[in-house]
């Protein structure tokens, strides 16, 4: 039995380290965005990169999201691998046209001759008491656009591994960073930082037989907490962390649902038109005969993101998840 | 004294003396568009260059006519003509070196052809067999951009990247007068100036954004005036004067290559044809206006200069016409063949590595195509041809 050198680290530290290692390994990697240089980003995720690699490789750009992503397109066309930071979820919207009209389709439009290896880092989601326009869960917008990968880590190890793989990918990746997990700590082994599944694979974070919770990003810790609390009811909940919304890992998700026959999709984005609808439909199409109850969704309310003093009522919590699991049991009985 | 100041809570430090970064005067464009043809400056122009421009202009005029005819035959879904704007298109493209890049808008087919791209491949987007028909790296031409002004930041990024790599590459980005109202135009200009990127922005002011005239587009004295706010020079040129456009663009390209940063050039021209074959230009402009511009035709301006100076005679004109006819005949012949459609291309270039979902959908389409083929005796234009299968 080998002992592994693990020590606690925050997700923010792992992300910084991922960019640093990627920049050291490949001179084509350039980090750019508003405040990413001298300040190190408003969340300090790019801290120290400008100092170590110079301002040409970690660049404070003018304040203009379309311009940041649009110039990154040209840089990628000339052989660079831009890593773009959008300061907050809702600040990325001016860059949507570049993302949707050009970034996502340049490879396809040119029959593979102009791949765009761009990573767009977006701190997203609520739970940190941010004021309006600082807490959106925008993943469904990105998921609806073919040509983009959409990735969101929930653990420190994934934060490092997925970001390294996103930067190394020849395709554009929207890398959603759950900002309320920036300061969460995990035991992490920086000696073997790439010991994680590649992009496109979901993982089972906790085994169980009563029902399967399917989740990602900021809702993973909530689901794990719910699974722990469920033991008091005599329920063993399985928890699947998607890690990647596009591509979607049908195989892992369906295997998990077949084991338990019951599924709840949990995320803080709105339920209507949200990722949960797509996931529930995929499960129903593939595992209908294994299901003992309808697939349920526990999502944020279908409202604009609420003011910070009310956000705890909006975000799916342990009780709401356990209520859904209880409804699944009722379906079984009744 | 304000209440805050009385309480001592507000103690502003005196602001540092503000200095403008440069004298705006040299950045401002001249009041009148720069002209060469018919002026003394024409005497200094290189005769070989003028003849080369003339041959290309005649060819461009013929290309516009041929492509417009192809829309009437249903061979092209749409064609935005540049008749009347040939001088901007061709003189600008010829101001670039081979290693430079061109970022065209959807109207700039002539500039793309002048870069050496196959005329048939350029029309792929408009014919509808694929969104982009040519390899952008082969002649360093980005895909024709349909959304307005969104290709301008790409040009800035590419030029910036080239400079970071130590290459003396310049990017030429083309946009119409309507495109200057878009946010991406502003952001591209600002990034280029802040980064001192080797970019030349060419605005072809052809008078209208579909039907909206320039007066409703901007309140600026000229579009070239917009440059001064970003801290880059603005230049105004007669867009129907090929020699003037070539000279101004060449100066701007040289300036950018030498590390001088970006330039905004406004070429004043006129769109003789409607926006596209789907547009009715009589609803928003009168014949008199169009006729006035016909009298300032770019091909005739250059022809007159060349013949007056004895650089071109009847047989030279005939040679240029023959050259254009040969190009048009080839274009017509090849465009009248049905394009080879490759349905599996729909899935092959979405991602570097296909997803499980796309592999399933690919298999579905392949089965449909095979069934179709069986039904139709094993051939037909929608046959199950494999394109770059992985």
Residue-wise pLDDT for A173-217, tens only, equals 999 999 999 999 998 888 888 888 999 999 999 999 999 999 999
Pair (A301, A152) in one structural domain: no
pLDDT tens figures, A127-180: 999 999 999 999 999 999 999 999 999 999 999 999 999 999 999 999 999 999
Phi and psi, residue B141, nearest 5°: -130, 120
pLDDT tens figures, A268-307: 999 999 999 999 999 999 999 999 999 999 999 999 999 9
Report the residue from B136, B155, B187 with minimal CB separation from A64. Answer: B187
pLDDT of residue B279: 87
Taking all residues of chain B, what is their mean pLDDT, rounded to a whole number? 92
pLDDT of residue A189: 86
Pair (A293, A158) in one structural domain: no
Pair (A171, A220) in one structural domain: no
Pair (A230, A267) in one structural domain: yes
User: How near does any CA of chain A get to the CA of B364, in Å?
Assistant: 16
The answer to whether position A86 is within a domain reads: yes
Question: What ipTM describes this predicted complex?
Answer: 0.93
Checking if the pLDDT of B387 tops 90, the result is: no
Mean pLDDT (whole number) for B53-75: 97
pLDDT of residue B384: 44
pLDDT of residue B8: 60
Within 8 A of A114 by CB-CB distance, chain B residues are 136-137, 143
Mean pLDDT (whole number) for B206-234: 95
Across the interface, do A77 and B184 touch by the CB < 8 Å criterion? no
Give the C-alpha separation, A156 to A138, whole Å: 22
> What CATH number corresponds to the domain at position A136?
3.40.50.970
Q: Could you tell me if B312 lies within 8 Å of chain A, comparing CB atoms? A: no
Across the interface, do A73 and B345 touch by the CB < 8 Å criterion? no
SS3 A81: strand
Q: Establish whether B337 is a catalytic residue.
A: no
Checking if the pLDDT of A124 tops 50, the result is: yes
SS3 B132: coil
Pair (A173, A285) in one structural domain: no
Mean pLDDT (whole number) for A31-46: 97
What CATH number does the domain located at B40-336 have?
3.40.50.970
Q: Kindly tell me the number of DSSP H helices and DSSP E strands found in chain A.
A: 12, 14
The Cα diameter of chain A in Å comes to 65
pLDDT of residue B389: 37
pLDDT of residue A331: 54
Mean pLDDT (whole number) for A57-63: 98
Band (B7; pLDDT cuts 50, 70, 90): low
> What CATH number corresponds to the domain at position A279?
3.40.50.920
Pair (A143, A240) in one structural domain: no
Mean pLDDT (whole number) for A236-240: 98
Which of these is catalytic: B75, B115, B275, B362? B275
Which of these is catalytic: A30, A134, A267, A314? A134
Those residues whose C-beta lies under 8 Å from the C-beta of residue A53, and which sit 6 or more positions away, are A23
Which of B:360-389 have CB within 8 Å of A? 388
Judge whether B64 and B113 are in contact, CB under 8 Å: no
Judge whether A199 and B355 are in contact, CB under 8 Å: no
Pair (A210, A306) in one structural domain: yes
User: How near does any CA of chain B get to the CA of A133, in Å?
Assistant: 20
Tally of domains in chain A: 2
Pair (A181, A218) in one structural domain: no
Q: Establish whether A133 is a catalytic residue.
A: no
User: Residue A208 sits in which domain range?
Assistant: 203-327
Domains in chain B: boundaries: 40-336, 343-368
Give the C-alpha separation, A102 to A106, whole Å: 6
Pair (A170, A207) in one structural domain: no
Residue with tokens 């290692």: A21
User: Least CA distance to B342: which residue of chain A?
Assistant: A111
Across the interface, do B147 and A251 touch by the CB < 8 Å criterion? no
Within 8 A of A147 by CB-CB distance, chain B residues are 350-351
pLDDT of residue B75: 95
């Amino acid at each position: 039995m080998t002992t592994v050198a693990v020590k606690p680290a925050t997700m923010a530290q792992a992300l910084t380290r991922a960019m640093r290692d990627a920049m050291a390994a490949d001179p084509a990697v350039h980090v750019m965005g508003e405040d990413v240089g001298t300040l190190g980003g408003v969340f300090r995720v790019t801290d120290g990169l400008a100092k170590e690699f110079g301002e040409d490789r970690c660049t404070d750009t003018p304040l203009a999201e379309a311009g940041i992503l649009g110039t990154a397109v040209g840089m990628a066309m000339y052989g660079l691998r831009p890593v773009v930071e959008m300061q907050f979820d809702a600040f990325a919207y001016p860059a949507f046209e570049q993302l949707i009209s050009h970034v996502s389709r340049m490879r396809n439009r040119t029959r593979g001759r102009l791949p765009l290896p761009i990573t767009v880092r977006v701190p997203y989601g609520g739970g940190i008491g941010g004021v309006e326009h600082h807490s959106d869960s925008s993943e469904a917008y990105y998921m609806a656009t073919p040509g983009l990968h959409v990735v969101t880590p929930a653990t420190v190890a994934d934060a490092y591994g997925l970001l390294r793989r996103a930067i190394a990918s020849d395709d554009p990746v929207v890398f959603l960073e759950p900002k309320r997990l920036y300061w969460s700590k995990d035991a992490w082994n920086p000696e073997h930082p790439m010991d994680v599944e590649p992009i496109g694979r979901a993982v089972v974070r906790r085994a169980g037989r009563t029902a399967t919770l399917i989740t990602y990003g900021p809702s993973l810790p909530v689901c794990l907490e719910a699974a722990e609390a469920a033991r008091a009811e005599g329920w063993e909940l399985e928890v699947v962390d998607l890690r990647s919304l596009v591509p979607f890992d049908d195989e892992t998700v369906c295997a998990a649902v077949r084991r338990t026959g019951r599924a709840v999709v949990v995320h803080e984005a709105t339920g209507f038109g949200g990722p949960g609808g797509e996931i529930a439909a995929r499960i129903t199409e593939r595992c209908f005969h294994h299901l003992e109850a309808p697939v349920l969704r526990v999502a944020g309310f279908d409202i604009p993101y609420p003011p910070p003093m009310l956000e705890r009522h909006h975000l799916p919590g342990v009780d709401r998840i356990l209520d859904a699991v209880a409804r699944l049991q009722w379906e079984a009985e009744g | 004294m304000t209440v805050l100041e009385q309480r001592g809570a507000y103690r502003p430090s005196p602001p540092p003396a503000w200095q403008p970064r440069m004298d705006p005067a040299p950045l401002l464009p001249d009041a009148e568009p720069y002209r060469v043809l018919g002026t003394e400056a024409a005497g200094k122009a290189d005769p070989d260059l003028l003849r080369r421009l003339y041959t290309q202009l005649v060819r461009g005029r013929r290309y516009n006519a041929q492509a417009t005819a192809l829309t009437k035959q249903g061979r092209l879904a749409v064609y935005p003509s540049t008749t009347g704007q040939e001088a901007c298109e061709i003189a600008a493209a010829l101001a670039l070196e081979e290693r430079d890049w061109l970022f065209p808008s959807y109207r700039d087919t002539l500039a793309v052809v002048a870069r050496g791209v196959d005329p048939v491949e350029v029309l792929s987007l408009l014919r509808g067999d694929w969104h982009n028909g040519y390899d952008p790296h082969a002649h360093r031409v980005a895909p024709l951009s349909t959304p307005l002004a969104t290709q301008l930041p790409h040009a800035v990024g590419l030029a910036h990247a080239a400079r970071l790599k130590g290459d003396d590459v310049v990017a030429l980005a083309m946009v119409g007068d309507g495109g200057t109202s878009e946010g991406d135009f502003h952001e591209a200009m600002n990034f280029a100036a802040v980064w001192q990127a080797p970019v030349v922005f060419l605005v072809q002011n052809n008078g209208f954004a579909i039907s909206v005239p320039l007066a409703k587009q901007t309140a600026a004295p000229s579009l070239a005036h917009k440059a001064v706010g970003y801290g880059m020079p603005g230049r105004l040129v007669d867009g129907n004067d090929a020699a003037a456009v070539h000279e101004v663009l060449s100066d701007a390209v040289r300036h950018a290559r030498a590390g001088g940063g970006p330039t905004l050039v406004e070429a004043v021209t006129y769109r003789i044809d409607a926006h596209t074959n789907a547009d009715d230009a009589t609803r928003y402009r009168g014949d008199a206006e169009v006729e006035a511009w016909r009298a300032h035709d770019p091909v005739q301006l250059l022809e007159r200069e060349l013949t007056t100076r004895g650089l071109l005679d009847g047989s030279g004109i005939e040679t240029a016409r023959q050259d254009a006819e040969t190009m048009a005949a080839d274009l017509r012949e090849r465009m009248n063949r049905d394009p080879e459609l490759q349905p599996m291309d729909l899935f092959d270039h979405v991602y570097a590595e296909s997803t499980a979902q796309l592999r399933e959908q690919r298999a579905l389409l392949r089965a449909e195509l095979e069934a179709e083929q069986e039904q139709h005796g094993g051939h037909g234009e929608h046959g199950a041809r494999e394109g770059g299968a992985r």
